């Protein structure tokens, strides 16, 4: 059971907590469908953001319903609670493509502006990402890692799961303690993310800046969110086979406070104990 404080919001009736074979320290929460996953993830993120974060945020299709649920939940709040959230907001996104800035539609900066910063009215600088337009991406990656450490490290790290087992843009093979860095994206990842680039993998940037597995594993809590049957097998390999560089997400097994939040389809290959 994660040692989180304050305790997480109570489970809604459509979520069940299940024991994960071979990983007794982790918490597995299964919702019947994506909506239940999104509402739960949004509630956990908001709780951490209200506590002052810093919260680690992720991009990708899995996170779109999560951020939609977050916007819906905040829309129900009183004005004063909203203002308090906005004034305390401190987040660091995992990654960004090299060569893309907020004005580029495929950038994660643009994705986060559309999903959260603009609709919530966040002040510039609250929602931080690596600068994909930095003159020297290696220097920028190091600066970003230092910025996270200077902020006190990540309190709650939200993660999606790449189809090849990447987290952030930590591509396989990846050691357990890889630092924030600039790296080459694999053909599999450029293919996976082509939808945001006119369905053309060749149009996906070749390099990205990502927080490393070192910063991710240093987070006080990790929230891994996975939906859909297409990721069921890579999720099983990530959680229930020995940790190894070929599946970067498998290093999450070594985190002392891991919460895995999935829909029934993504959970379908997992062994429960």
Q: Which two tokens stand for residue 131?
A: 């600068």
Whole-angstrom distance, CA of residue 255 vs CA of residue 273: 19
Q: Give the number of other CB atoms < 10 A from CB of residue 210.
A: 29
Range in contact with ligand GLP (rule: CB under 6 A) among 39-47, 79-87, 133-141, 160-168: 160-168
Element housing 182 (H / E): strand 181-184
**Catalytic one among 29, 39, 164, 215?**
164
Contact positions with ligand GLP (CB under 6 A) in 37-76: 58-62
255 noted as active-site residue: no
Toward ligand GLP, which CB reaches closer, 144 or 169? Answer: 169
193 binds ligand GLP (CB under 6 A): yes
Is residue 162 close enough to count as binding ligand GLP by CB under 6 A? Answer: yes
Which residue of 169, 172, 204, 238 would you call a contact of ligand GLP, by CB under 6 A? Answer: 169
- Among the listed residues 117, 162, 127, 170, the one whose alpha carbon sits nearest the alpha carbon of residue 147: 127
The burial class, CB within 10 Å (0-12 / 13-18 / 19+), for 115 is buried
Question: Closest approach of Cβ 90 to ligand GLP, in Å?
Answer: 19
Candidate list 39, 131, 171, 263, residue with the active-site label: 171
Active-site residue, 244 included: no
160 within 8 A of 219, measured Cβ to Cβ = no
- 95 counts as catalytic: yes
Residues contributing to the site for ligand GLP (CB under 6 A): 58-62, 94-95, 160, 162, 168-169, 189, 193
């Amino acid at each position: 059971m994660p040692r989180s404080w304050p305790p997480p919001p109570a489970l809604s009736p459509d979520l069940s907590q299940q024991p994960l074979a071979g990983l007794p320290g982790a918490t597995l929460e299964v919702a019947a469908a994506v909506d239940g996953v999104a509402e739960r993830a949004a509630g956990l993120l908001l709780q951490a953001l209200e506590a002052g974060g810093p919260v680690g945020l992720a991009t990708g299709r899995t996170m779109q319903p999560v951020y939609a649920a977050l916007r819906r939940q905040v829309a129900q709040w009183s004005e004063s609670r909203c203002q308090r959230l906005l004034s305390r907001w401190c987040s660091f996104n995992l990654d960004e493509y090299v060569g893309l800035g907020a004005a580029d539609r495929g950038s994660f900066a643009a994705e986060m502006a559309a999903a959260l910063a603009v609709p919530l009215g966040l002040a510039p600088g609250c929602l931080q990402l690596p600068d994909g337009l930095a003159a020297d991406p290696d220097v920028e990656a190091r600066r970003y890692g230092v910025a996270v450490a200077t902020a006190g490290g990540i309190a709650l790290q939200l993660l999606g799961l790449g189809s090849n087992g990447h987290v952030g843009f930590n591509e396989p093979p990846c050691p357990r303690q890889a630092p924030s860095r600039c790296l080459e994206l694999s053909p599999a990842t450029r293919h996976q993310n082509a939808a945001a680039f006119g369905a053309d993998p060749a149009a996906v940037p070749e390099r990205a800046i990502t927080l490393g597995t070192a910063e991710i594993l240093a987070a006080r809590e990790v929230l891994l969110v996975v939906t859909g049957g297409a990721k069921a097998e890579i999720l099983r390999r990530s959680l229930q086979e020995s940790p190894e560089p070929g599946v970067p997400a498998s290093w999450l097994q070594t985190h002392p406070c891991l919460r895995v939040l999935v829909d029934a389809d993504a959970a379908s290959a997992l062994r429960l104990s």
